[in-house]
Amino acid sequence: MSVLAASPVPLVVRTVEIPAPDDLLALLPENGISWVRRGQGLIAWGESARIDTAGAQRIDEADAWWRRVTRHAKVHDDVRQAGTGLIAFGSFSFADASAAGGSLVVPRYVVGLRDGRAWFTVIDGDGLTEPPTLDDALGESSPPATLPPITIEAGDRDAWATAVASAIERIGAGELDKVVLARAVQAHGDGPVDVRTVLAALAADYPSCWAFHVDGLVGATPELLARVDHGLVTSRVLAGTIRPTGDETADLAHAAALARSSKDREEHEYAVTSVTNVLAAHCASVNVPDEPSVLHLPNVMHLATDVTGVLSHNASALELIRELHPSAAVCGTPTLAAAHVIDTLEGIDRGRYAGPVGWIDAAGDGEWCIGLRSAEIDATDQSRMRLFAGCGIVAASEPDAEWAESEAKLEPMRRALGARIGG
């Protein structure tokens, strides 16, 4: 079931060039939308239209709605770069049955920065006889608030070990090859959490990740599900993880060991294959490197493969992510068997964690990641959150090692929140 909130009149869009800001995130008003990597990207606020969807067709329904909105919009774009003109931001639940569903939001204001050029977009349905300036749109936006004291629960290690052991047993019995199990921990602040303060910390600590906030999901994700840009599609697959030591020489050895690890290579190959098979159905050609690289992040090192292709037809970013999700990197192999094991063993509703999050423009191009290293902010109480981490389980996995990996993956959000670990 979906709730449609189409614009009552055709949207009118105006994009103009502006001086490049020194700090894009610093402009973000409270509860705004963020999509920033290496200081570049998009921020947005306000709402001109949206759709909320649910169920197995949630992405298809959002895509159909977006096509109707873009078909009737009047766009005046003086900049013509990726992210200018009419755009929408979205996030979708991991599971079809999740009450978290999905949403696609058309903001009222967008500021973008890419390759030294900056722009300001206003999206409205009133004709924009006199579009506001950026200063007018920002109004009296307050500066980001200092975070209150925040406590995060430690999590149930015994329950996690039991779930991982059961998954390994099922893999050994031949039910499936790989399953990704996730855990969620509750966090509570002594007052509301200003997401801008969290984003600033994430962007500073993890500049190579996408620091995002879309419809209550905030995080710094390293994994690109699909970027579509004028017929070119790219997907960055991450699977196979090791925790760095902080010693540069030792970590070079650890990276080499990760690249040779049969357990991690097996896990990674399942994820690469799941993405490649989808892209092959839409592309005239697909390029897959012979060997994965090692992506170094402050908290973990990942095996990484960038799969690229040239689209053979006019597929939108939403069409592709609907088929790419869930990849083996966040679900497992075979997909249906892994999803069943997740439902049986995990014991949580992931919400929009590990689901697609990103943006799309009027041409269907856009950038969508997997919502990892993230937290879900309670819609009714901004002092409460759930933090998530997941691990790929294969036959050679060990419960203690997977617990340590999940702890490493919780670190970005814990650090950004300045949280203490409670019981």
The residue from 223, 269, 376, 405 that is catalytic is 223
Which distant-in-sequence residues (6+ apart) come within 8 Å of 59 by Cβ? 53, 92, 102, 318, 321, 322, 325, 356
Which distant-in-sequence residues (6+ apart) come within 8 Å of 253 by Cβ? none
Q: Give rounded-to-5 percent helix, strand, coil for the chain.
A: 30, 35, 35
Q: How far is CA 175 from CA 100, 160, 172, 337, 339, in A?
A: 29, 20, 8, 7, 12
Q: Which amino acid is at 291?
A: E
Rounded Cα distance, 392 and 258, in Å: 14
223 is catalytic: yes
Dihedral, CA of residue 98, residue 104, residue 110 and residue 113, to nearest 10: 70
140 is catalytic: no
Q: Which amino acid is at 283?
A: C
**What burial class does residue 129 get, using C-beta atoms within 10 Å of its C-beta: 0-12 exposed, 13-18 middle, 19+ buried?**
exposed
Rounded Cα distance, 130 and 283, in Å: 43
**8 Å CB contact between 244 and 301:** yes
Phi, psi of 247 (to 5 degrees): -95, 120
Rounded Cα distance, 35 and 28, in Å: 11
Q: How far is CA 110 from CA 42, 107, 287, 382, in A?
A: 7, 7, 34, 24
Which distant-in-sequence residues (6+ apart) come within 8 Å of 6 by Cβ? 49, 51, 65, 68, 69
Rounded Cα distance, 310 and 32, in Å: 34
The residue from 61, 153, 178, 263 that is catalytic is 178
Region of 264 on the Ramachandran plot (φ > 0 left; ψ -120 to 50 alpha; else beta): alpha
- Closest to 320 in 3D by CA, of 354, 350, 364, 355: 364
The residues carrying an active-site annotation are 178, 223
